[in-house]
Structure 1
Amino acid sequence: MEKYSRAYERFKKAYRKFKEVIDNPLFSELFKEEFIIEITSKRFEYTYESMWKTIREFLRLRGIERNSPKSCFRELIKEGVISIEYERILSDIILLRNTLVHVYDEKQAKEIYQKIRAKEILKTFENILNSLEKEKP
């Protein structure tokens, strides 16, 4: 349970930091676009990583072993913790994260940045966080 609690707290902190960079209009006034893209991308990546690892620990406490993000997300839906409506956006999030790791082109980085700023991504992270808060592993 302690491992899950630590993972959950990391996910919550990562989510708050990602939300901060998405919701704060001052970032665009204070920093260059290149820096904003980089920090937003890193915070997205960290939120994604901490989210799926928290879900993995949550499932382990229920006696379910899953070792990939996709299988963890599917199992979370199967367990009824989140609804099936999140399946598509979670697939999109996986694709964005996997693409982001291998981006070396500024144009492609900007395109991904625009996608990760989508409110449905932030809303998905928030919903999973809240759902895990309500559920008992």
Structure 2
Amino acid sequence: MDEMKSIRWKQRFENFEKSFKLLEKYANSSISTELEQAGMIQFFETTFELAWKVLKDYLESEGYIAKSPRECIKQAFQIELIEDGHLWMDALAKRNLTSHTYDEELAEKLVKEIQEQFVPLLRNLYNKLLKER
């Protein structure tokens, strides 16, 4: 059973990796149009969703139980799998906000946060899990 859980997080990591690399690729670009903003936000939403799910699968493979994104973030922070738990919680809040509303001012602010704060946050997770794989 533990081997299946180990395989599951590694498979989920592959999807996270693909999504993260796309997000990272475009995060270094100048984002100026509404379409580019929407694309960046969508890449962030998808990558963040995969990030918390890979955290969940990894935690389960290590014997922890965490069901929600918030629980996964808290547990991953406690075992030092991730750093800056407050920024992770902020990213979760922003991800939840983007899926329910769209506002041009919010979009511009969020794109900047994605580029400056959330991509490095996700990069840290990516690098840490890459070593575990």
TM-score by length of 2: 0.87
Shift of 1:89: 0.9
After superposition, what is the alpha-carbon deviation per residue over 1:6-37, rounded to whole angstroms, capped at 9, x for unaligned? 10011111110001111134xx5xxx601101
- Is 1:109 the counterpart of 2:107? The answer is yes
- 1:121 and 2:118 aligned: yes
Q: Number of paired residues?
A: 128
Listed as ranges, the matches of 1:49-128 within 5 Å are 49-83=49-83, 86-118=84-116, 120-128=117-125
CA distance in 1, matches of 2:14, 2:8: 10
Equivalent-residue separation in structure 2 for 1:82 and 1:108 (angstroms) = 27
State the TM-score, normalized to the length of structure 1. 0.84
Q: Which runs of 5+ in 2 are unaligned?
A: 1-5
Percent of aligned positions that are identical:
23
Q: Which residue of 2 aligns with 1:8?
A: 13
Describe the superposition over 1:31-86 as per-residue Cα deviations: whole angstroms up to 9, x where unpaired.
x6011011000000011000000000000101111111111111112112233xx1
Q: Which structure 1 residue ranges, 4+ long, deviate > 6 Å from structure 2?
A: none
Work out the CA distance in 1 between the residues paired with 2:110 and 2:77.
Answer: 26
| C-alpha contact (below 8 Å) 1:4/1:58 kept by paired residues | yes
Contact 2:16/2:47, CA 8 A, preserved across alignment: yes
Alpha-carbon RMSD:
1.6
Q: Distance in 1 between matches of 2:15 and 2:24?
A: 14
CA distance in 2, matches of 1:99, 1:48: 13
